[in-house]
Amino acid sequence: MTGFRARALSTTALAAAAVFATLGVSAPADAAETKLLMIEGELEIADLDLLAIKAVGATNAEGKTTGTYEATLLAGDDDNPLPFKVKGPITCIHTDGDTASLVYPISATDPNLIPAPLQDALAVQITVRKGDPSKVGVNGPAPTGSFSGCEPAATPYEFDGDIEIK
């Protein structure tokens, strides 16, 4: 693992710890009832990295979901990010064994291409499956109201990175 990737993973781990601490996930009983998800890696098609994904989120025992999602377009490998990012808060997490899914409304892009009235109007679902190889799927963007929960969807693309599901 390169130094850059190790630093990026430790930054994501710190962000996860902050999210989990905000939810009060310290007692073993809470941890058993809390869904935790951390994703960091690249969506690949034919060995080309096309999308860098970073997500950290949790749903507590009362059903409240918090977390953040960020995707960066890539030009074939993770060393060549394009100048376009999509960001949003995670509003739904589903976990089941080695499969997890999240939904996030698109609240911002960088550069900013979303006028204020349209922020959060569209949402995206990301589904990941841990394995050899791990897989990922992207559903949307679609109107935010069209997502009812976040049951896992298809995962047709390879995923090169880390997935933590609890």
**157 vs 127: CA distance, rounded Å:** 10
pLDDT, position 129: 98
Taking only the tens place, the pLDDT of each residue in 29-83 is 445 578 999 999 999 999 999 999 999 999 998 989 999 999 999 999 888 899 9
**Mean pLDDT rounded to a whole number for the chain:** 84
**Does an H or E element contain 119, and which?**
none
**Is 93 a residue whose pLDDT tops 70?**
yes
**51 vs 126: CA distance, rounded Å:** 12
pLDDT, position 114: 87
**164 vs 64: CA distance, rounded Å:** 19
pLDDT, position 19: 47
More confident residue, 4 or 58: 58
Taking only the tens place, the pLDDT of each residue in 113-123 is 888 888 999 99
**147 vs 166: CA distance, rounded Å:** 23
**Is 3 a residue whose pLDDT tops 80?**
no
pLDDT, position 32: 53
**75 vs 87: CA distance, rounded Å:** 19
pLDDT, position 86: 96
Cβ atoms of 31 and 58 closer than 8 Å: no
pLDDT, position 117: 83
Confidence of residue 138 (pLDDT cuts 50, 70, 90): very high
